[in-house]
Amino acid sequence: MKTVGYAAHNAESDLVPYHFERRALRDNDVLIEILFSGICHSDLHTVKGDWGEQPYPLIPGHEIIGKVLEIGPKVKNYKVGDSVGVGCLVDSCQECDQCHNHEEQFCRNGLVPTYGGQDKITEEVTQGGYSKHIVVREEFVVKVSEKLDISKAAPILCAGITTYSPLRKWNVGKGTRVAVVGLGGLGHMGVKLAVAMGAEVTVISRHPGKEDYAKSLGAKALLVSTDEEAMEAAASSFDFILNTIPVKHNLNIYTPLLDVDGSLVLVGQIGEMEEPLTQPLIFGRRRIAGSLIGGLKETQEVLDFCAENGIHPECEIIKPEQINEAWEKLLKENPAHRYVIDMEGLSV
């Protein structure tokens, strides 16, 4: 079908309206009218070529909320009119051990990202959520509860699952001492989710002025990372540290904050890091790990968890013509909210 989105035509260009064709429905496909699409910092990294050359023109966006317009004849779980979501993946082999374990993000034979990937059948480039419509196979569509405000739910499909998955994997729960490093689009969701799980949450930030905001999200305290005395006093204070910083930085100021057997998990920076010191790791059996989004089962789980606990990302709703302005702000700062595009004004 003919549709329209906002595409980049090279790594330096602004995003501009781009008319293109979505594929015809296959038997197990769902056609979705996109109502809201979140903006993720990884959209910028991808389109700007920070993670390698991209197939332009490219429409980013992997935080998608919409309604079902049409279904293929073999679709079982969705009907026309349903509120649904699409996250960072639109396909995987569905046959390997990781796919059978509901961890499609680690598919042995290669996942297909929502944009910038290659369709397994036609080999066409996948185009993302900064658009009016999307066609996705049923297995990669999730249900959106009526308890969620759909205008604010889109970032749960990336920021939500990216922070929820490691919290669940490392068994964060009542009484767990959690620190969240960074209070941007990922960090604020990490705080909300960890608090809802019963953890005692501290935010670690360079900016002392964020204390009131951190506490408004449910954190008990703010630890200022540039305050050497406070950082030394906080040694061995945390069971788990969620590190959401999206750029290269020094981990060595954070690892001593872990208690024995504590874990620091990276979900922000992808790429080079400062060389870690091994002493804090060896002399405390501490560990540094990474985590990549989550599978479809866990993505549905975080949506339902947010619905049951009244959790929504902090959002600023923008129009499609404001996308480039929002990107400029993301490049210059790390706002403590997510931008969400209201697609109502985008017409084919």
The pLDDT tens digits for 51-79 are 889 999 999 999 999 999 999 999 999 99
What is the per-residue pLDDT for 200?
98
Same domain, 189 and 272: yes
Q: Decide if 112 is inside a domain.
A: yes
Same domain, 35 and 124: yes
- List alpha helices for the chain, DSSP H: 41-47, 97-100, 150-153, 159-169, 185-196, 211-216, 228-233, 279-282, 296-309, 323-332
Q: What angle do CA 230, 233, 238 make, to 5 degrees?
A: 100
Same domain, 19 and 107: yes
List, run by run, the mean pLDDT of 10-residue segments along the chain (348 residues): 97 96 97 97 92 94 98 98 98 98 97 97 96 98 98 97 98 98 95 98 95 97 97 98 94 97 95 92 97 97 98 96 95 85 89
Same domain, 198 and 330: no
Q: Decide if 295 is inside a domain.
A: no
Q: What is the pTM of this model?
A: 0.95
Same domain, 57 and 203: no
Same domain, 75 and 176: no
Contact criterion met (CB below 8 Å) for 202 and 221: yes
Q: Decide if 62 is inside a domain.
A: yes
Same domain, 126 and 140: yes
Same domain, 153 and 178: no
Q: What is the domain count for the chain?
A: 2
What is the per-residue pLDDT for 332?
83
Range(s) of the domain holding residue 252? 160-290
Q: How far apart are CA 61 and CA 91, in angstroms?
A: 16
Q: Decide if 296 is inside a domain.
A: no
CATH of the domain at 14: 3.90.180.10
What's the token pair of residue 107? 């598919």
CATH of the domain at 257: 3.40.50.720
